[in-house]
Amino acid sequence: MDSQALILKAEQTHCLTEDELLHLLQDDSADEAIFQAADRVRQKYVGNEVHLRALIEFTNICKNNCLYCGLRAQNPCVHRYRMSEDDIVALAQKAVQYGYKTVVLQGGEDPAFTTEKMVSVLQKIKPLGLAITLSLGERLYEDYQAFKAAGADRYLLRIETTDKALYEKYNPAMSFENRLRCLRDLKSLGYEVGTGILVGLPEQSLRSIAKDILFFKDLGADMIGLGPFIPNPQTPLKDAPQPVLEPALKVMALTRLLLPDVNIPATTAMETLAPNGRIKALQSGANVVMPNITEGEERQNYALYPGKAGALDTPLAFRDKLTAKLTEIGRPVSTGYGWHKIKH
Ligand code: 5AD
Ligand code: SF4
C-alpha cells in the first residue's frame, strides 16, 4: 500500500500494523498529510476545546541517573530545590484562581516525598475541587493505591522507549519490567494513565517507534505525551545531534490516528524546538496544554533540557498569551475537567 492509502486506512479504522506504521514513519513526504489527517481525527473525536493542566514542578531532586536528563542525580550543576507542603498547596490554590481545573504535581524521584507526605499534600489539595495528576515516577503498588485513595485521579509515567535494551542503557539501575509493572498497577487502580516516549534518542530505530505506538494502544493509555529528545550539555548525551520538531510531531499525529479519543498534550519540548511548535502540535492532533505555574527560581531550575520554552514568563503572562493564541486559531479553552472518558 502507498502512504496515502495507509493514512486513509488509519483515519477510518484507527488500526495499522507495525510494518504499516514503519512505512509511514520512513516516508517524509507523507508528513503534511499525516498532520492534516490527525487534525481531522482530533476534531471528530475530542472536538475543538483545549484542556489546560496547571503544572507544578515541586522538586527537582532525583535519585535516578537517566542519561538524557538534566535533573539526573550525578549532575552537580543543578541548583536543587524541594518545595514545602505549604508551598505546593499555595500553588494549587493559585491554579484555582487562574481558572485551571487540573493540577499536575511533577517531580523527580525524590525520596523525601514519602507516601505519608504525598498523601498529606493530596488531602490538602483535593478539597479545592481540582482534578489531580501525579508525575513522580516509579513507586510501589501500595503507594499508588494510597495516592489514589487520597484523591489522585491521573498519573503520568512515560515508558520513554519500548526498546528494552535501549531503555536500560539510558536508565541505568532502572528496569524496563518495573516500569511496565508501574503502568499496569496504575491502570488496575483506576487511574487515567498517561505514558509516552522521547523521540530522537540516539540509536532509537523507527521500528521501535512503531512498536511504541502499538504499545500505547495495548496498554489502553488515556493520555500520551510525546517529546523530542533535546540534548542537555550537562549530561552524557550532550553530543547527540540537535533535534528538529517534525519527527516528534509525526509520532504524535500517528498516535492520534491510532488512539483517536485520548488526551494528547502539545509539549513544552515541542515549543522549545520551534517558535510556534505548540500551535503546530495543536493543529496536528494535540488537544491539551500544560501551562507551568511554578514560580521564581524554581521555574528556571527545573531544567530537564536547555532553552525550555516559557521559563522566563510569569504564570499569568503565559496564560494570557496562550489564551490569545488559542482564540486566534479557533480553539476555545475548555471549562471542564477534560477526562478521557466522561465520568458518571
Ligand atoms: N529532552 C526532552 N525531554 C526530556 N525528558 C527528560 N530529559 C529530556 C530531554 N533531554 C523527559 C522524559 C521524562 C519527562 C519528565 O521529561 O521523557 O519522562
Ligand atoms: Fe529523574 Fe525523571 Fe530525570 Fe530520570 S527523567 S533523571 S527519573 S527526573
Closest residue by Cα to atom 7, ligand 2, is 64
344 is a domain residue: no
Task: Write down the pLDDT at residue 344.
Answer: 46
Cβ–Cβ under 8 Å, residues 298 and 57: yes
Q: Tell me which residue range forms the domain holding 280.
A: 3-338
21 is a domain residue: yes
58 is a domain residue: yes
Residue 71 CB–ligand 2 contact under 6 Å = yes
pLDDT above 90 coverage of the chain, percent: 92
Domain count, the chain: 1
184 is a domain residue: yes
22 is a domain residue: yes
Cβ–Cβ under 8 Å, residues 32 and 283: no
Residue 72 CB–ligand 2 contact under 6 Å = yes
Write the pLDDT tens digit of every residue in 81-109: 999 999 999 999 999 999 999 999 999 99
More confident residue, 79 or 275: 79
Write the pLDDT tens digit of every residue in 241-296: 999 999 999 999 999 999 999 999 999 999 999 989 999 999 999 999 999 999 88
Residue 230 CB–ligand 1 contact under 6 Å = yes
Q: Which residue shows C-alpha cell 488512539?
A: 259
Checking if the pLDDT of 25 tops 70, the result is yes
Task: Write down the pLDDT at residue 75.
Answer: 98
Neighbour count for residue 324 (Cβ, 10 Å): 9
Checking if the pLDDT of 315 tops 90, the result is no
Q: At what angle do helices 3-13 and 18-26 cross, to 10 degrees?
A: 130
312-317 CB contacts, 8 Å cutoff, 24+ apart: 315/54, 315/94, 315/98, 315/291, 316/98
Neighbour count for residue 98 (Cβ, 10 Å): 15
Task: Write down the pLDDT at residue 309.
Answer: 83
Q: Which residue shows C-alpha cell 505514558?
A: 195
343 is a domain residue: no
Task: Write down the pLDDT at residue 343.
Answer: 58
Q: Which of 30, 20, 22, 34 is nearest to 209 (CA)?
A: 22
Ligand 2: residue of 57, 58, 62, 197 to mutate (most ligand atoms within 8 A of CB) is 62
State pTM to two decimals: 0.97
Closest residue by Cα to atom 4, ligand 2, is 66
Which of the ligands is closest to the CA of residue 68?
1
Residue 269 CB–ligand 1 contact under 6 Å = yes
Residue 317 CA to residue 128 CA, distance in Å, equals 23
155 forms bridges with which residues in the sheet?
A: 134, 193
53 is a domain residue: yes
Task: Write down the pLDDT at residue 227.
Answer: 94
198 is a domain residue: yes
**In angstroms, what is the span from residue 57 Cα to ligand 1's centroid?**
13
Closest residue by Cα to atom 13, ligand 1, is 158
Q: What is the mean pLDDT of residues 7-33?
A: 98
Task: Write down the pLDDT at residue 314.
Answer: 85
| Ligand 2 nearest atom to the CA of residue 71, by list position | 3
Instruction: Burial-class residue 13 by CB neighbours within 10 Å (0-12, 13-18, 19+).
Output: exposed
* Mean pLDDT, rounded, of the chain: 96
**In angstroms, what is the span from residue 142 Cα to ligand 1's centroid?**
26
The H or E element spanning position 104 is strand 102-107
| Ligand 2 nearest atom to the CA of residue 72, by list position | 6
The H or E element spanning position 166 is helix 164-170
**In angstroms, what is the span from residue 69 Cα to ligand 1's centroid?**
6
More confident residue, 187 or 309: 187
DSSP code per residue over 188-202? HTT-EEEE-BEES-T
Q: Which of 153, 149, 82, 157 is nearest to 120 (CA)?
A: 149
CATH number, domain containing residue 309: 3.20.20.70
